[in-house]
Chains A and B, each alone.
Chain A
């Protein structure tokens, strides 16, 4: 158990729709990162939040956006869904002053 939870576990959407994924990390984890893992590949970094501010972004378009809240929870929002957005979305958090990242169980998104 990492103490990082994600919801929902599974989600089915259609092209063009919008989706919000949620992540809750442990108290004291002030950094949260989101990753996208396509089938058969390693996770790809989407972006990171530190103290509620975006602190680095990978090669993802602006329709991928996020929020971090004071209670250590976080959201990933994806607008105008495309078929290629079908993937496992992973949230990871890091304790204060540590580099180690702890991952949640992920949300499987299917876009039809």
Chain B
């Protein structure tokens, strides 16, 4: 099956810093989503981005499908950005394969 690798596994930032999270995948995909999992376990949709670039406030994402990677940018980080960020990809239907996540800690 498809493999999904996320890096870095852990990231510690000071409030106000910028960061880039990376997701590499091993095969062509027709679905790629970024999620933020809060401390209570809720997966919050950030982007549906199988290709191209999207922005939503301080967050933006870029997927280069031909090179099989996606990047999530967080600018001017806030303590509320802390949590685990997951990249998930799909090759058929809406079944998703998740990476292991990036644990982000933003300190005040």
Contacts and interface: CB of A to CB of B under 8 A. Distances in A.
B10 to A, nearest CB: 12
A72 interface: no
Interface in B70-108: 86, 88, 90, 93-101
Contacts of A43: 43, 86, 88, 96, 98
A37 B99 CA distance: 12
Contact of A41 (B4, B42, B96, B100): B100
B57 interface: no
A100 B41 contact: no
A48 B97 CA distance: 13
A102 B42 CA distance: 10
Contact of A102 (B45, B86, B93, B97): B45
Interface stretch (B13-21, B27-35, B58-66): B27-35
A99 B42 contact: no
Contacts of A55: 93
Contact of A105 (B35, B41, B86): B41
B96 A90 contact: no
Interface residues of A, number: 27
Given A100-B33, A103-B35, A33 B101 contact: no
A88 to B, nearest CB: 5
Interface string A4-40: 0000000000000000000000000001010101000
Contacts of B4: 42
B105 to A, nearest CB: 15
Query: Top 9 closest A-B pairs, CB basis?
Result: A42-B98, A103-B43, A100-B48, A99-B31, A106-B41, A94-B94, A105-B42, A43-B98, A88-B41
15 contacts: A33-B94, A35-B98, A42-B98, A42-B100, A42-B101, A43-B43, A43-B98, A55-B93, A56-B93, A92-B94, A99-B30, A100-B33, A100-B45, A103-B45, A108-B41
Interface of A: 2, 31, 33, 35, 37, 41-45, 48, 50, 55-56, 58, 88, 90, 92, 94, 99-103, 105-106, 108
